[in-house]
Structure 1
Amino acid sequence: MENIRTRVVRFTDQTGQIHIGLDEGEVIKRLPGEWRIADLLRVRVDTMREMVATASAEIPAESVRLLAPLDGLTEVWAAGVTYSRSRDARVEETTEPTVYDRIYEAERPELFFKAPAWRVVTDGQPIAVREDSAINVPEPELGLVINAFGEIAGYVVVNDVSSRSIEGDNPLYLPQAKIYAGSCSVSSGIVPVWLTDIAALEIGMWVYRAGAVVFEGRTSTSSFHRPAAGLVPYLTSFMRFPDGVVLSTGTGIVPELDFNLAPGDTVEIRIENVGSLTNTVLRTAEWLDSVGS
């Protein structure tokens, strides 16, 4: 599914120092100085491209540990009900179906805060499900990496883990359903905007339980109900993000109501030309004990 290898990454070297660089597969080319991902998002895309081009010192990829590619004051936000499948799923689960029908057809999208950079996990780290939710689901989404000027600078894979039954009880419970420890995972590299188009990218998700696939789904960004870039002004026109922001663009893959993501499961998400993301599942209490954020 995926064929672009060059990604901007954040990593720790063998001394424990944090750096950023270009992951090109077998090697990572380190960017000079002590730049952060946030520094790349404080400048316009043309300048970011020039900065990224200065990467040179090669480090074997196997000798580093990749971190979530977000730092500083960067935040993650998300959009909802941007695919017809998402609208249909919300209508199925909720006591207030007309709310989701209306937002699907409205010009103004649903937007909500998801996580600050320090609370985001990445590939290979655990995600969590709430103990007080009867139905929990992973939500595979394309994330737009947006700079301080409101320009799309790159793309990531996002898992917007959600407590479906909590939101279904009452739409006003959305923050509790969406914002909790272990609910936000992002792929370990940012694909720069100049390397791929997002008009028709294949998205796939697999959930494994005891080694067997218990859920599989596919969709495409061509099924967006509204242009992904059209979401950006609703977020950036009325707030400033000095270190940039990731806007997760909603999901087109939602399991049926008889599916519940459970501790011990593994979720794999792949987005063509963007990357992959794999996480095991813990309960929130276990997640807090092991990750501590």
Structure 2
Amino acid sequence: MRLATFIHQGRRGSGVVDGDAVLPFPPGTELLDVIRAGELPSAGAAVPLAEVRLLPPVEPPSVRDYVTFEEHVEGVRKSVDGRSGVPDAWYDAPTFYFGNPHAMVGAHDDVPIPPGCHAFDFELEVAAVIGKEGADLTPGQARAHIYGYTIFNDWSARDLQSREMQVGLGPCKGKDTATTLGPWLVTADELEPYRDADGFLRLALTVTVNGKEVGRDLLSNMGWPFEELVAYASRGTRVRPGDVLGSGTCGNGGCLAELWGLRGRQDPPPLKPGDVVEITVEGIGSTRNTVVAGAQPVPLPKARPRSRHRP
């Protein structure tokens, strides 16, 4: 089943996607409430998808984005901090950073370049959405806590990211402006036929820029399946309905920075206003976003030297 959140005739709604139409739930129904309830409300008369604007399917309480593709780490590490190979610590556990839950954009929305960015990039990912609360889950338990999956693109300001990560923390403004979530939420049962013998979802992933293919990979090349990501996220804390867990960017051109690191130059070039990025994930669907000019940065002073006096 595919569940969407949308705007139709100026009103926000949610419903079931059926072919080229959406069957809306009663007015005021939020998809996150449907997920929490664990059952679908009655649906109304079909509305053509061509007449709605698709929004992010959920407004997530939290966003974790992992880095689970070894090939991606090899390329981006070289691009962002100039080092080769994969850190030994990467193999220990599925590392993630917390994203901005207020920066979600829809499958066909325009995406502004972050203020001050001159190396804008896409990231081809899939995300799991949590369906029920849990803590300290085993991977076996975690599968039942995944409600469904959607496309995830955490747009990245690579020049800002490269500079700020020298401080020793994760990305902040390098990942803060926009994350595409959509086009809808596909329930977990729909993707079970794609599960391979090792427990991974074998979905084909592709991305194009202005109609030219840039990257192609399989979701099953993740170092950990989603159940293990959920289990790790729940360790010592709780996951809750609507929480979003990104797979991390795939390899083989899943982002421009990977290619920049491998080739030693910005080829293909950074994204610019007017560029159209289309991501397609087998079994889920496609997103198509146009890059537009963003705001100019509001200037801030550098840190002031302090005396380090003590009371």
TM-score category by the smaller chain? Answer: 0.7 to 0.9
What whole-Å deviation, never above 9, does each CA across 1:202-248 have from its counterpart, x for those lacking one?
A: 0000011xxx63x5110001211122221112223444454421111
Report the CA distance between 1:91 and its aligned residue.
2.6
> What residue number does 1:206 align with?
208
CA drift at 1:28 = 1.5
**CA 1:237–1:147 in structure 2 vs 1: closer, same or farther (change >3 Å)?**
farther
Q: 1:123, 1:278 within 8 Å by CA — same for their partners in 2?
A: yes
Going from structure 1 to structure 2, the CA distance change for 1:63 and 1:91 (only over 3 Å counts) comes to: closer
- Asked if structure 1 preserves the Cα contact closer than 8 Å seen for 2:110 and 2:292, the reply is yes
> Partner residue of 1:261?
271
1:51 corresponds to 2:37: no
TM superposition shift of 1:131: 4.5
- 2:161 counterpart SS class: helix
The reply to whether residue 176 of structure 1 matches residue 186 of structure 2 is: no
- Secondary structure of the 2:171 match is helix
Conserved 8 A contact 1:27-1:58: yes
Partner of 2:180: 185
Q: 1:149–1:98: structure 2 CA closer, same or farther, 3 Å change rule?
A: farther
Distance 1:189 1:220 in 2: 20
Q: Which residue type is aligned with residue 203 of structure 2?
A: L
Q: How many residues align?
A: 267
Q: 1:34 aligns with which of 28, 34, 49?
A: 28
Query: Following the alignment from structure 2 to structure 1, what is the Cα–Cα distance between the partners of residues 125 and 28?
Result: 30
* One-letter amino acid of the structure 2 residue matched with residue 75 of structure 1: S
Q: Corresponding residue for 2:216?
A: 218
SS for the counterpart of 2:99 is strand
CA offsets 1:92-116 (integer angstroms, 9 cap, x no match): 124374895134211x222112222
Alignment map for 1:118-129 (pairs within 5 Å): 118-129=102-113
1:229 aligns with 2:239: no
Equivalent of residue 275 in structure 1, options 279, 285, 307: 285
Change (3 A) 1:233 1:178: farther
Q: Please report the TM-score for the alignment, with normalisation by the length of structure 2.
A: 0.76
Residues 31-110 of structure 1: matches in 2 within 5 Å? 31-32=25-26, 34-43=28-37, 48=38, 50-51=39-40, 54-71=42-59, 74-80=61-67, 82-95=68-81, 97=83, 100-106=86-92, 108-110=93-95
What is the aligned-residue identity percentage? 25
Structure 2 unaligned residues grouped into runs of 5+: 135-144, 195-200, 261-265, 298-311
Contact 1:166 1:173 survives alignment (8 Å)? no
The 2-side partners of 1:122 and 1:238 are apart by 32
Query: TM-score scaled by structure 1?
Result: 0.80
One-letter code of the match for 2:87?
D
- Classify 1:115/1:131 alpha carbon distance in 2 versus 1 (closer, same or farther; 3 Å): closer
Give the direction of change, closer, same or farther, for the CA distance of 1:99–1:244 in structure 2 (3 Å limit): farther
Distance 2:236 2:106 in 1: 29
> Higher Cα Rg: structure 1 or 2?
2
Structure 2 CA distance for aligned equivalents of residues 254 and 187 of structure 1:
18
Evaluate the alpha carbon distance shift between residue 111 and residue 124 of structure 1 in structure 2; reply closer, same or farther with a 3 A threshold.
same
How many Å apart are 1:17 and its aligned residue? Answer: 2.6
2:106 maps to amino acid: T
What's 2:100 paired with?
A: 115
C-alpha distance in structure 1 between counterparts of 2:162 and 2:22, whole Å? 44
Q: Which amino acid aligns with 1:254?
A: C
Q: Give the counterpart letter for 1:227 in structure 2.
A: P
Following superposition, the deviation at residue 133 of structure 1 comes to 3.7
> 2-side partners of 1:260 and 1:272: how far apart?
26
**Distance in 2 separating the partners of 1:24 and 1:105:** 41
Deviations 1:132-153 (A, max 9, x none): 3443320010110112325110
Q: Which amino acid aligns with 1:68?
A: P
The residue identity in structure 1 corresponding to 2:79 is: E
8 Å Cα contact 1:148-1:240 kept in structure 2: no
Question: Could you tell me which amino acid in structure 1 is paired with residue 110 of structure 2?
Answer: P
Distance in 2, matches of 1:147 and 1:59, equals 26
Q: Residues of 2 paired with 1:202 and 1:22: CA distance? A: 24
